[in-house]
Structure 1
Amino acid sequence: MARRENSEINAGSMADIAFLLLIFFLVTTTMDVDSGISRKLPEKSEDTPEVTIKEKNVLDITVNRNNQILIEGTDFIQVSDLRKIAMDFIDNGGGLSAPKGDKPGEACDYCQGAKDPASSDHPSKAIISLQSDRGTSYGMYVSIQNEIEAAYNDLRNRLALQKYKVSYKEMLKEYNDNGGEKLKAKIDLLKDSYPQIISEPEPIK
């Protein structure tokens, strides 16, 4: 009886299969994308005048390596409490009309805060200082930044509704879609009324 010879395996299609598998994995594999905070950095100024800042015009926020938030070095708070604390500080309007020869704070006629003389004088003078630890998680840092920015936006929304019967958020969307000098002037006024002033010292080692 004749011996049957083994037939050769056709490997010509193996390259095609490997190529298809490569494409499949490239399409279905997810890759980590670097995330960050969108923020416009201030332009460099050649002549920076020396400014005396009152301690009461600075809200100190410190985040330790355990992601605990400390306000004014004394009180631990939750992230959910931060927006209201920031709004109360920015909108305090504690500056009083200046008697002759004195220069206390500038009066804020649109502020609705407690007008506590021990807190910020005016939104244009209110500075939020955020200092983190090198061990602070990125997620916590972003959450705090979001709450601070939301505090400013909420105050601008309130003022926009009072003055123009439309929210600041809607005005921004309208301007981004259609532009317009008059609308830009209104938006700039709201930003000037509640300027976002945030100081970020070097992280704690």
Structure 2
Amino acid sequence: MAKKQRANPTVNSSSMADIAFLLLIFFLVTTTIASDKGILFQLPPKPDPNEPPPDIKFNQRNIFKILINSNDKMLVEDEPMDDISQLKGKVKEFVLNNGKNKELSDSPKDAIISLKADRGTSYEKFITVLDILETSYNEMYGARVGLTADQFRELDLKNPVDKERYDRARENFPKNISIAEPTN
């Protein structure tokens, strides 16, 4: 008797590519890619090269100087500061002075916080100090309208009541944080 040749069973793979393509599209569409936003700052406009720089006059006592060296050591008002937790209190005391102490700022409107770092300063230290400065201002703004710093930060500016509170807190009280160019 002659043996019949059996046909090898094969899987029809013609639609396999279509299924793989559809799965690929599905995962591309549904996957969210986390993007780091970094530090959000609004930079001033570029100066016009044809115009001379403006002559800005200010009282030296209205500048609160913070220097961070390449070893992450801080000088606050030319004095070493080892305990960074004291910085918030010093900033608030300086800004809210209103001319009472002749060593500190004339008013919150005139107070400028100057932050300067070396090129070797760690990002962690720089961001920590910057966060403390931001938190200090948020606490001062919140206190003006009876809120905590977190409540002030979470105000919804699309809501008219929250927008009015936000504007009232910041009225004649600018956040003057100057970040100086690093030194070598």
TM-score (norm. length: structure 2): 0.69
- For 2:54, the equivalent position in structure 1 comes to 48
> 2: CA distance between counterparts of 1:191 and 1:199?
18
Q: Deviations over 1:46-77 (max 9, x none)?
A: 783430431x3221122344554442343234
Does residue 195 (structure 1) correspond to residue 180 (structure 2)? The answer is no
Distance 1:143 1:10, change over 3 A: same
Give secondary structure in 2 for the equivalent of 1:121: coil
Of 2, 11, 17, the residue aligned with 1:9 is 11
- For 1:90, the equivalent position in structure 2 comes to 95
> 1: CA distance between counterparts of 2:34 and 2:137?
31
- For 2:65, the equivalent position in structure 1 comes to 60
> 1: CA distance between counterparts of 2:25 and 2:140?
50
Deviation at 1:30, TM superposition (A): 5.5
Does residue 126 (structure 1) correspond to residue 131 (structure 2)? The answer is no
Q: Which segments of 5 or more consecutive residues in structure 2 lack a partner in the other structure?
A: none
Deviation at 1:86, TM superposition (A): 1.1
| AA aligned opposite 1:151 | S
After the TM superposition, which residues 91-170 of structure 1 pair with which residues of structure 2 at under 5 Å, given as runs? 91-93=96-98, 95=99, 115-161=100-146
Q: Is the 8 A contact 1:124 1:192 kept in 2?
A: no
> 2: CA distance between counterparts of 1:78 and 1:146?
15
Distance 1:28 1:122, change over 3 A: same
Q: Is the 8 A contact 2:70 2:118 kept in 1?
A: yes
Q: Is the 8 A contact 2:139 2:148 kept in 1?
A: no
Distance 1:43 1:196, change over 3 A: farther
> 2: CA distance between counterparts of 1:10 and 1:135?
63
Q: Is the 8 A contact 1:57 1:120 kept in 2?
A: yes
Q: Which segments of 5 or more consecutive residues in structure 1 lack a partner in the other structure?
A: 96-114
Deviation at 1:8, TM superposition (A): 3.4
Distance 1:204 1:28, change over 3 A: farther
| AA aligned opposite 2:137 | Y
Distance 1:30 1:126, change over 3 A: same
Give secondary structure in 2 for the equivalent of 1:176: coil
> 1: CA distance between counterparts of 2:81 and 2:41?
27
Give secondary structure in 1 for the equivalent of 2:145: helix
CA RMSD of aligned residues (A): 3.7
| AA aligned opposite 1:158 | A
After the TM superposition, which residues 181-192 of structure 1 pair with which residues of structure 2 at under 5 Å, given as runs? 184=164, 188=167, 190-192=169-171
How many residues end up aligned between the 2 structures?
Answer: 176
- For 2:160, the equivalent position in structure 1 comes to 178
> 1: CA distance between counterparts of 2:116 and 2:179?
6
Q: Is the 8 A contact 1:160 1:167 kept in 2?
A: no
TM-score (norm. length: structure 1): 0.63
Q: Which moved more, 1:57-66 or 1:43-52?
A: 43-52
